[in-house]
Structure 1
Amino acid sequence: MKQALIIGSTVADVTVRLPHLPVTGEDVIVESQSMSLGGCAYNVSEILRQSGVPYTLFSPVGTGIYGNYVREHLKRKQIPILIPAPAADNGCCYCFVEESGERTFAALHGAEYRFERQWFSLAESLSVGSVYVCGLELEEDTGGFILDYLEEHPEYTVYFAPGPRISFIPQSSLRRMFSLSPILHLNRDEALEYTGITGSPENKKPWKKADLPCREYRLEACLPEAASRLTALTRNHVIITLGAHGAFHMEPSGKHALIPGCPARQVDATGAGDSHMGAVIACRMKGFPMDKAIRTANRISAAVVEHAGAGLDDEDFLRLNA
């Protein structure tokens, strides 16, 4: 089995739990604060590691207190750092988690998001079949080096998760990425925002159990059209995650389906999307059809939101897959 190259950031997540996000001028009492290893690429790679598929985490680790934290914790987990340490500080990600479990991020970007062209020569000796790329790295002015590398390897299966800042990625970079026919992974808000499909005001309301008829209407009204526009750009699978309601999948042919989610008591939504993406990649590497891969990913991401932090510990992952 060829391995997956996971390109992107590993950061120190500073998680701040609070009753609600303060409005301007308001004071709130923080319930707790903690620090843990996170970052989109790291979160994805953890699911691959726990799934037992081969991978390499291709993530710069800089200097400073956050860089030292990341380096020490990767060492503890025996995860090698392939890229030479850049002479710049790592940033961090402030994860504000409300009582509902919903999370809001404020990221201080540092060395972990910036890549150098020569680093990719280090990956040439690896037997790579799949590559994961996060949109945050393409937003940087060094994102072109990632695209250069991918364009030199059209044989790779590319998984692209543009994230909530998809509108901040230069259009020229998105065109280059889409021309690689990546498997695209976004959530509902990201998909609707980028494609410009908003529908009626009802489409923007959170889904509730009592809204099932409206929910089905909104799915029919919005998601197939959004996914169709995205598939036209990438000519590959599009996965739109819907939280507790599962995921919407469209094949390159246009055939589509809603794959139901799993019930979960949301404690912390941090890392749920990354874990979903990691599970899809791991399952596809094992030869699963896409619908089964997404079903498995729905189950794993549901378990992730029931725990504090951006993933599952090894024991919980094993129990989940027993």
Structure 2
Amino acid sequence: MKKILLIGSTVADIIINLDHLPTTSADVNIVSQEMSLGGCAYNVSNMIHLFEVPYRLFSPVGTGLYGDFVRNQLAAKGLASPMPTPDQANGCCYCFVEEGGERTFVCDHGAEYLFYKEWFDTLKMEKVSSIYICGLEIEDKTGGTIVDFLEANSSIPLFFAPGPRICFIERTLVDRIFALHPIVHLNEDELCGFTGATALEEGAKALYALTENMVIVTHGAEGAYYYDGDEFIHVPPVKAVKVVDTIGAGDSHIGTVMACLAKGRTPYEAIKTANAVSSLVVGKKGATLSKDELTITI
């Protein structure tokens, strides 16, 4: 079976729990903090791994305290970065989680977001079934190198989860990605912010006109929607849960969708399963699930 290629970051998430975000000049105490493995590509890869679909995590790891942490954590999971160690420190992501579970990210970008042509030249693309990218790496200074690589492999299905950075990526790069007809995965705010639409269906149709491929929109407690060019379909949530934190919910959702589609499930079945997985993720601390915590099968 061919592998899903996941291009993106693996970072140290510093999760800081507090009652509420401080205002300017305020002085607050936190409830707790911890450091864990995160990053969009890693979070996606974890879900694909749990569903036992072959994949390759193509993620650079830099130097320094956070680079060492990421490298050691990956090694403990039997993973290693396929790239040489860049001569640059790894960054981290400060994840501020308020009492209600909503998260705010403050990121220090480092080597984990930079990609170079000679690294892509080592890939054996005949063994790749599909490709995943997010928006952070495209926004960074080597984003054009990633898009060059995607264009050179335009026959391979592409999944694009741009996240909230979709409005900050250079528009020419976004247009080049859309020309490759990716399946785009984003939430309501990201969709409406990019398209200027005031309704989900309107926004999904506007985005489909640019990509000519399925658009998947997550909508929190209401579940998710997708537009396939013919119908705008609602996929309801599996159940209501108490939100602990929302870190990694979107990554786990798209990772599950990709895993399910790779196993031959329909888009509706894939998104329904992803809704259930996301409910598990937001119901616990951190961005990923363990094998024991994944109580869903496909």
TM-score with structure 2 length normalisation? Answer: 0.98
1:168 match: 168
1:219 match: none
- The CA deviation at 1:225 is 0.5
Q: Distance in 1 between matches of 2:131 and 2:241?
A: 30
- The CA deviation at 1:125 is 5.7
1:121 match: 121
> CA deviation digits over 1:234-270, x for unaligned, max 9?
000000100111001000x231111101311100100
RMSD over equivalenced CA pairs, Å: 1.1
Counterpart of 2:261 (choices 284, 287, 303) is 284
> Partner amino acid for 1:303?
L
Q: Distance in 1 between matches of 2:76 and 2:49?
A: 15
1:2 match: 2
- The CA deviation at 1:309 is 0.3
Q: Distance in 2 between matches of 1:292 and 1:264?
A: 20
2:204 match: 227
1:202 match: none
> Partner amino acid for 1:321?
T
Secondary structure in structure 1 of the residue aligned to 2:245:
coil
2:284 match: 307
- The CA deviation at 1:80 is 2.5
Kindly indicate whether residue 51 of structure 2 is the aligned counterpart of residue 51 of structure 1. yes
1:246 match: 223
> Partner amino acid for 2:232?
H
1:84 match: 84
Contact 1:129–1:155 at 8 Å: present in 2 too? no
Q: Distance in 1 between matches of 2:126 and 2:292?
A: 30
2:244 match: 267
Identity of aligned residues (%): 51
Q: Distance in 1 between matches of 2:77 and 2:126?
A: 21
- The CA deviation at 1:89 is 0.3
Q: Superposition pairs for residues 91-170 of structure 1, below 5 Å?
A: 91-124=91-124, 127-170=127-170
Contact 1:82–1:122 at 8 Å: present in 2 too? no
Q: Distance in 2 between matches of 1:87 and 1:16?
A: 29
Q: Distance in 2 between matches of 1:316 and 1:40?
A: 20
Secondary structure in structure 1 of the residue aligned to 2:164:
coil
- The CA deviation at 1:291 is 0.7
> CA deviation digits over 1:74-104, x for unaligned, max 9?
0000013111111100000000001101111
- The CA deviation at 1:27 is 1.4
Q: Distance in 2 between matches of 1:27 and 1:257?
A: 46
Q: Distance in 2 between matches of 1:314 and 1:80?
A: 20
Secondary structure in structure 2 of the residue aligned to 1:320:
coil
Secondary structure in structure 1 of the residue aligned to 2:292:
helix
Deviates more, 1:256-265 or 1:13-22: 256-265
- The CA deviation at 1:29 is 1.0
Contact 2:71–2:80 at 8 Å: present in 1 too? no
Question: Structure 1 stretches of 5 or more lacking a match?
Answer: 199-221
> Partner amino acid for 1:116?
Y
Deviates more, 1:110-119 or 1:21-30: 21-30
> Partner amino acid for 1:261?
P
Q: Distance in 1 between matches of 2:284 and 2:91?
A: 24
- Choose between structure 1 and 2: higher helix proportion: 1
Matched residue count: 297
Q: Distance in 2 between matches of 1:126 and 1:181?
A: 20
TM-score with structure 1 length normalisation? Answer: 0.91
- The CA deviation at 1:124 is 2.3
